[in-house]
Amino acid sequence: MSFFDLNGTLKPLTALKQFGKKPHTISYPKESKEAAPRYRGLHFNDLDECIGCGNCSMICQNAAIDMIHIDGIEGKKGDSGLRPRIDNGRCCWCALCVEVCPTGSLSLTKDYLYVSEDPDSFLWTPGKDNPNGKEQISFFSTEETSLNVFNRVPMPELEGKERVKSFAEVVLGYSEAEARAEASRCISCGLCTEVCPEHMHIPEYINAIATGNDADAVRIIYDNNPLPEMCGKVCTRRCEDVCAIASRGEALAIRWLKRYATETAATAEITREIVNPEIREANGKTVGIIGAGPSGLTAAYYLALRGYDVTIYEANAKAGGATMYGIPKYRFPIDSLDKQIDYIKSIGVKILFNTKVGKDISFKEIYDKFDAVFMGVGFPDAWPLGVDGDDAKGSMQAFRFLYMINSGEKVDVGDKVVVVGGGNVAIDAARVSRRLGADVTILYRRRVKDMPADWEEIEGAEDEGVHIVPQGIPIKIHKDEKGHVKAVEYLKAKMVPDERGGRPKPVAIEGSNTVIEATSVMAAIGQMGDYSFLPEEFTDKIKIERGRFVVNEKQQTGDPKVFAGGDAVNRTADAISAIADGFRACKAIDEMLGKK
């Protein structure tokens, strides 16, 4: 190369030809550039759709999101009442929060400019501070792109045709791999814990199952529920109603996962070995419990662990209360119940069977004998149907029918059964009748979607060939010459919206009389308590209102020494609420007697 290179000196001057060309840049703010349709700018949150699960806050690796209370949004079932607030000084707009948002309420917008002199104003609540952000949404998650796993691992079950042949358990339970897969869908938001009457540690035990620590899961579960296998099979599982994943998918199978964990401990001895509870030294205090149902057993178990001498008086030959005598064995086999009762007994709880308070022993005697008394007496009686012909042979209460079947008695229902009602008892009675070989019709006043029964139970009944007649109000039971049920007459109903905002009411349509043939009619329209064991001297203090004991928040009745729980107290009348009552009562009794 020569010292002077003509070409190399002149070539750079070709840059001059660029003069007059349109530049790359735009003159902001006279013109501005529209962000791309997928742009990841400032956040927007649909405050009504958001359920405050805090998943966004959990995934944010910059810790830029915290969950705060904002005015006008109150917590309710399935909504923590909290909303995410973004620290835009920390955010890196990775949008993982958007990808894991189970409701899809959180998204990013095309907005990318925010200027302020006040550094505190960089903390802002999307949706509240940019209410018009909805039109700007650019980066959002759909069910396809979301990182939540929306589909539940299906539970293996017996075929409908197989089921009606016997009382074999319908639900077969998850295998280990299935349980791990199902558990790993959980996002640990804890909305379920909030709504569970017993506030079980749901995210914790699900996490233990997901990571393969079944024994840990069992220990966590037994921390506040001594009858978890029962809950794992028949719980009403309000937790699943509020599951965050259910906003766009299928709720976690929380009940089935609990069932899986507890079934890994096959016997009472293994359960004892795994749970290995710390039993405190006997403190010399005694507690008497009336009724070995879920509430009584719970109070007994946790009191025994705290060193109390606990005795349960049970009128029947077996413990479990309504879960033993009310729930059919294809849902909750007797071995499973026995295992849990044996475990509770192994802690030192004494149960006196076939001892009816008021008959075999007086309430006064128990009251005087023990330092505290807990009544978990339940609802042993059922409401009669109360229509013309109700006294016919073959007209019975479903609850009574289930009691007899579960006690091993034989009941002849004939070949055509009509069950009146739409709750779990109605479905249970219907499915049991199917197993006895009858054709079954369920007559319900409202629509199928209004039925209070568990949707899985309703589906199960339909699979087994139970016929459901919705919007039918029974008015008469026809008898044959021997006084036996012959048919049921009902009126069709139309749904009328409730003026007070309640659920629509069924109103009978005049002249729409329909008759179905029947050999048995079962009323499943509710149960009631039997408080005849309570002597008059106590009823001043122990108040009963609308068929239930009146208790304070510690389950304490008007008599400070007497506590109550279960169906005879709470209106939800399910096992988990009873367990919660028992647990609360245990803590209150311990608090009361511990001070003395």
Partner 1 sequence: MEKKFLILQKNTQDKMREKATTLYIGPQHPGITGNMMVKVQVEGDTIVRARTEVGYLHRAFEKLQERRNWLQSFTLLCRFCVPEPDPVEESYARAVELLEGREVPERAKYIRVLMLELARMGSYMLWYGGQSGSLGLYTIGQWTVGDRNYILDLFEELTGGRVYHMYIWPGGVRRDLPEGFADKVLRTMDYFEKRLKDYDDLMFENTIFQKRTQGVGVIPKEKAVEWGVVGPVLRGCGIKSDIRIDDPYEVYDKLDFIVPTHEGGDIWSRALVRRQEIRQSIRIIRQVIENMPSGEYYNRIPNPFKWTLPKGDAYARTEATRGEVAMYIVSDGSIHPRRTHFRGAAYVHGITLLEKILIGENVADISAIMNSLGVCPPEIER
* Binding residues among 306-365 for partner 1 as defined by CB under 8 A: none
Q: Which stretch binds partner 1 (CB under 8 A): 2-10, 264-272, 408-416, 513-521?
A: 2-10
Q: Which stretch binds partner 1 (CB under 8 A): 114-122, 146-154, 278-286, 515-523?
A: 146-154
The minimum distance between CB 37 and partner 1, in angstroms, equals 7
* Residue choice 20, 22, 24, 118 for contact with partner 1 (CB under 8 A): 24
- Report the distance separating Cα 18 and Cα 15, nearest Å: 6
* Residue choice 19, 20, 22, 25 for contact with partner 1 (CB under 8 A): 25
Q: Are 418 and 556 in contact (CB under 8 A)?
A: no
Please state, in angstroms and as integers, the Cα–Cα distance from residue 251 to each residue in 73, 150, 221, following that order. 24, 8, 20
* Residue choice 20, 29, 37, 502 for contact with partner 1 (CB under 8 A): 37
The minimum distance between CB 45 and partner 1, in angstroms, equals 18
The minimum distance between CB 311 and partner 1, in angstroms, equals 44
The answer to whether 271 contacts partner 1 (rule: CB under 8 A) is no
- Report the distance separating Cα 403 and Cα 459, nearest Å: 23
- Report the distance separating Cα 559 and Cα 544, nearest Å: 12
Q: Are 193 and 169 in contact (CB under 8 A)?
A: no
The minimum distance between CB 55 and partner 1, in angstroms, equals 8
The answer to whether 11 contacts partner 1 (rule: CB under 8 A) is yes
The minimum distance between CB 122 and partner 1, in angstroms, equals 19
The minimum distance between CB 151 and partner 1, in angstroms, equals 11
Residue keyed to tokens 């475990």: 343
Number of Cα atoms under 13 Å in the Cβ half of residue 226: 35
Q: Which stretch binds partner 1 (CB under 8 A): 17-25, 259-267, 397-405, 547-555?
A: 17-25
Q: Which stretch binds partner 1 (CB under 8 A): 31-39, 120-128, 271-279, 394-402?
A: 31-39
Handedness of CA 317, 322, 328, 333 (dihedral sign): negative
Number of residues that bind partner 1 (CB under 8 A): 44
Residues forming beta bridges with residue 442, ordered by sequence position = 419, 468
Considering the complex, state which of residue 92 and residue 172 has its C-beta at the smaller distance from partner 1. 92
CA 131 to chain centre: 34
Helix (H/G/I), strand (E/B), else coil: 124 = strand
* Residue choice 51, 65, 164, 183 for contact with partner 1 (CB under 8 A): 183
Considering the complex, state which of residue 100 and residue 398 has its C-beta at the smaller distance from partner 1. 100
Q: Are 451 and 425 in contact (CB under 8 A)?
A: no
Considering the complex, state which of residue 42 and residue 337 has its C-beta at the smaller distance from partner 1. 42
Question: Which pairs count as long-range contacts for 502-511, CB under 8 Å and 24+ apart, including other chains?
Answer: 503/446, 503/450, 504/446, 504/450, 506/445, 506/446, 506/471, 506/473, 508/473, 508/475
- Report the distance separating Cα 406 and Cα 428, nearest Å: 12
Considering the complex, state which of residue 145 and residue 407 has its C-beta at the smaller distance from partner 1. 145
The answer to whether 139 contacts partner 1 (rule: CB under 8 A) is yes
| Contact string 85-104 vs partner 1 (x = CB under 8 A) | -------xxxxx---x----
Copy the structure tokens of residue 277: 């509870």
Q: Are 361 and 355 in contact (CB under 8 A)?
A: yes
The minimum distance between CB 218 and partner 1, in angstroms, equals 19
* Binding residues among 399-428 for partner 1 as defined by CB under 8 A: none
Considering the complex, state which of residue 190 and residue 348 has its C-beta at the smaller distance from partner 1. 190
Q: Which stretch binds partner 1 (CB under 8 A): 75-83, 142-150, 260-268, 582-590?
A: 142-150
Helix (H/G/I), strand (E/B), else coil: 515 = strand
Helix (H/G/I), strand (E/B), else coil: 157 = strand
The answer to whether 7 contacts partner 1 (rule: CB under 8 A) is yes
Q: Which amino acid, 426?
A: A
Q: Which stretch binds partner 1 (CB under 8 A): 1-9, 117-125, 337-345, 369-377?
A: 1-9
* Residue choice 211, 283, 407, 513 for contact with partner 1 (CB under 8 A): 211
Q: Which stretch binds partner 1 (CB under 8 A): 14-22, 358-366, 446-454, 485-493?
A: 14-22
- Report the distance separating Cα 281 and Cα 297, nearest Å: 20
Please enumerate in sequence order all residues whose Cβ is within 8 A of that of 494, keeping only pairs 6 or more positions apart, or say none.
471, 506, 507, 509
DSSP state of 448: G
Interstrand relation of 505-508 and 472-479 (parallel, antiparallel or unpaired): unpaired
The answer to whether 188 contacts partner 1 (rule: CB under 8 A) is yes
Handedness of CA 303, 304, 308, 311 (dihedral sign): positive
Considering the complex, state which of residue 58 and residue 361 has its C-beta at the smaller distance from partner 1. 58
The answer to whether 532 contacts partner 1 (rule: CB under 8 A) is no
- Report the distance separating Cα 96 and Cα 84, nearest Å: 14
Considering the complex, state which of residue 180 and residue 339 has its C-beta at the smaller distance from partner 1. 180
DSSP state of 103: S
Return residues touching partner 1 (CB under 8 A). 1, 5, 7-9, 11-12, 14-15, 18, 23-25, 35-40, 58-59, 61, 92-96, 100, 108, 138-139, 145, 147-149, 183-188, 207, 210-211
